[in-house]
Amino acid sequence: MSEVSLQQTIGKGYVDFWRCRGRYRVIKGGRGSKKSVTAVLWHIYHMMKLPLANTLVIRKTFNTHKVSTFAQLKWATRRLGVDHLWQFKKSPLEATYKPTGQKILFRGLDDPMSITSITVDTGYLCGAWFEEAYQILNEDDFDKIDMSIRGELPEGYFKQLTLTFNPWNERHWLKQRFFDMPNPNTLALTTTFQCNEFLGDDDRELFEWMRKHKPKRYRVEGEGNWGLRKARSLRIGVRKNLNGEISPSCPITKLYLVWISVIPMTRVLLWLP
Ligand SMILES: Nc1ncnc2c1ncn2[C@@H]1O[C@H](COP(=O)(O)OP(=O)(O)OP(=O)(O)O)[C@@H](O)[C@H]1O
Ligand SMILES: [Mg+2]
């Protein structure tokens, strides 16, 4: 592909992403801001440029790959006019660059063993793409995979972890780790639908409607800003005795439950005597 047509294929707004060679390349963005499409185009293009590079694609659950990352990477080979050079297999789920045997491997965090024991036939595992990284609630899960991308590489090669996600809540570890602490190894970007020239006018109208009528959603889905933490919810309950009555003589009526929203899907229980 010539450079000019590559530029047209990717469009605007992703120059830093495309050129980045740092270890962590992290994009938070609104809906439809080209995060996934640009990530798949980059990985196909660079694997063809670097004949020893293999890529790991991670999602929280393995069975979501087939209809997302796998299908999108296949689409990217067609978009770049190189689909005849790639083989996409569903069992096991993988993509192979036919001229060299380089592979794109797909894994889910729901099968941790499949992640720690990855070997490749040709070359090195030097890249990992975490799609919908917001779903990775446990930072340790990320760190384990980070550790698997290691070792010396030949000249011209680099190790890189790419993370793409919608920033639903500012309390997520991704914010503190990549956006609040400047690090020369990290490129942290925010993108919005405004840089997506491939959207139709009807799509843009949807965003405009959201801006007017659902400003909170628009903040995240339109502007790619961190969602605000939820207001603390406090619920106090009194335990009942075995007959379902609240009895002052029953010792456990003295126990109160306090629920505190910390981050989505996580609650802390405090027992107050
Ligand atoms: N380079 C491209 N060539 C053609 N179409 C594109 C390109 N980039 C984006 N698009 C179009 O824009 C749509 C949105 O892009 P994409 O799915 O990458 O956004 P996203 O930021 O990942 O959105 P979400 O937050 O919903 O996951 C795609 O479905 C596709 O139709
Ligand atoms: Mg996406």
Say if CB 73 and CB 83 are below 8 A apart.
Answer: no
Q: Which atom of ligand 1 is nearest to the CA of 191?
A: 21
40 lines ligand 1 (CB under 6 A): no
What pLDDT, on a 0 to 100 scale, did the predictor assign at position 252? 45
Q: Over pLDDT 70: what percentage of the chain?
A: 82
- Quick: pLDDT tens for 90-127: 999 999 999 999 999 999 999 988 887 788 999 999 99
29 lines ligand 1 (CB under 6 A): yes
- Quick: pLDDT tens for 18-43: 999 999 999 999 999 999 999 999 99
What pLDDT, on a 0 to 100 scale, did the predictor assign at position 94? 97
Which residue's CA lies nearest to atom 14 of ligand 1?
Answer: 32
Which of 15, 36, 38, 217 should be mutated for ligand 1, with most atoms under 8 A from CB?
A: 36
Whether 239 has a pLDDT exceeding 50, the answer reads: no
What pLDDT, on a 0 to 100 scale, did the predictor assign at position 161? 98
Whether 272 has a pLDDT exceeding 80, the answer reads: no
Of 9, 4, 14, nearest in space to 195 by CA: 14
What pLDDT, on a 0 to 100 scale, did the predictor assign at position 93? 97
What pLDDT, on a 0 to 100 scale, did the predictor assign at position 5? 81
For the chain, give every domain's residue range: 3-222, 236-272
Distance 58 CA to ligand 2 centre (A): 13
> What's this model's pTM, rounded to 2 decimal places?
0.85
Measure the N-to-C terminal CA separation of the chain; round to a whole number of Å. 69
Q: Which atom of ligand 1 is nearest to the CA of 79?
A: 3
What pLDDT, on a 0 to 100 scale, did the predictor assign at position 182? 86
Chain mean pLDDT for the chain: 87
Is the N-terminal amide bond of 273 cis, ω within 30° of 0? no
- Quick: pLDDT tens for 132-186: 999 999 999 999 999 989 999 999 999 999 999 999 999 999 999 999 998 999 9
32 lines ligand 1 (CB under 6 A): yes
Which residue's CA lies nearest to atom 5 of ligand 1?
Answer: 198
Distance 31 CA to ligand 1 centre (A): 9
Residues linked to residue 54 through DSSP beta bridges, in sequence order: 125
Distance 233 CA to ligand 2 centre (A): 31
Say if CB 188 and CB 17 are below 8 A apart.
Answer: no
Second-level CATH architecture of 3-222 = 3-Layer(aba) Sandwich (3.40)
Residues linked to residue 93 through DSSP beta bridges, in sequence order: 90
Confidence at 257, pLDDT banded by 50, 70, 90? very low
Distance 134 CA to ligand 1 centre (A): 18
Least confident of 5-9, 67-71, 156-160, 174-178: 5-9
User: If you average pLDDT over each of 199-203, 246-250, 254-258, 260-264, which comes out highest?
Assistant: 199-203
Distance 13 CA to ligand 1 centre (A): 13
Phi and psi, residue 211, nearest 5° = -60, -40
Confidence at 231, pLDDT banded by 50, 70, 90? low
Whether 208 has a pLDDT exceeding 70, the answer reads: yes
Give the 3-state secondary structure of residue 74: helix
Distance 196 CA to ligand 1 centre (A): 7
28 lines ligand 1 (CB under 6 A): no
Whether 264 has a pLDDT exceeding 90, the answer reads: no
Q: Rounded to the nearest 10 degrees, what angle do helices 35-49 and 69-79 cross at?
A: 60
Place of tokens 């036939």: 121
What pLDDT, on a 0 to 100 scale, did the predictor assign at position 3? 53
Phi and psi, residue 128, nearest 5° = -135, 140
Place of tokens 């720690």: 116
Which of 34, 72, 77, 192 should be mutated for ligand 1, with most atoms under 8 A from CB?
A: 34
Distance 155 CA to ligand 1 centre (A): 33
Q: Which atom of ligand 1 is nearest to the CA of 37?
A: 18
